[in-house]
């Protein structure tokens, strides 16, 4: 499996926010600096995390982001799918003719693998990235 840059940034950001014990929200520029992520791209990644209910966004000069749920309640699957959409098994090549059944078999295999990946990622919590 290969994570997109967006989902990797999202997981880094959430893990960072979960690991810093601050009484105030964590600013995006702090997250970006800590993980060498371009801040403009990071902000685009954080937006769906707010929309999906993983983060609270606090406006203002002392604003930033806080976890909306405990890290132990957030699965890697939820984060990845919030940023990139559902994980699906995709067979990139479909042929017509007598061997088209191979394409259908490959579709089924890819779908099974995607479902196994989803189940596994659903069991892994954000705390596994923070050491908590």
- pLDDT tens for each residue of 82-130: 999 999 887 776 666 555 677 778 888 989 999 999 999 999 999 999 8
- By the 8 A CB rule, do 131 and 71 touch? no
pLDDT at 99: 57
Task: Say if residues 89 and 112 touch (Cβ distance below 8 Å).
Answer: yes
Confidence of residue 6 (pLDDT cuts 50, 70, 90): very high
Domain map (residue ranges) of the chain: 5-130
- In CATH terms, the fold of domain 5-130 is Arc Repressor Mutant, subunit A (1.10.10)
DSSP 45-89: HHHHHHHTTSEEEE-STT-EEEESS-GGG-BHHHHHHHHH-----
Model confidence at 23: pLDDT above 90 = no
CB 63 within 8 A of CB 29: no
pTM of the shown model: 0.87
């Amino acid at each position: 499996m290969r994570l997109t840059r967006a989902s990797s940034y999202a997981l880094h950001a959430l893990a960072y926010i979960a690991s810093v014990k601050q009484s105030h929200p964590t600013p995006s520029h702090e997250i970006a600096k800590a993980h060498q992520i371009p801040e403009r791209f990071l902000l685009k990644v954080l937006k769906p995390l707010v929309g999906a209910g993983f983060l609270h966004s606090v406006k203002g000069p002392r604003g930033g982001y806080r976890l909306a749920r405990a890290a132990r309640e957030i699965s890697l699957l939820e984060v990845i799918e919030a940023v990139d959409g559902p994980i699906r098994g995709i067979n990139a090549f479909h042929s017509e003719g007598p061997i088209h059944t191979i394409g259908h078999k490959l579709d089924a295999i890819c779908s099974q693998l995607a479902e196994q990946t989803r189940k596994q990622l659903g069991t892994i919590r954000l705390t596994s990235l923070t050491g908590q």
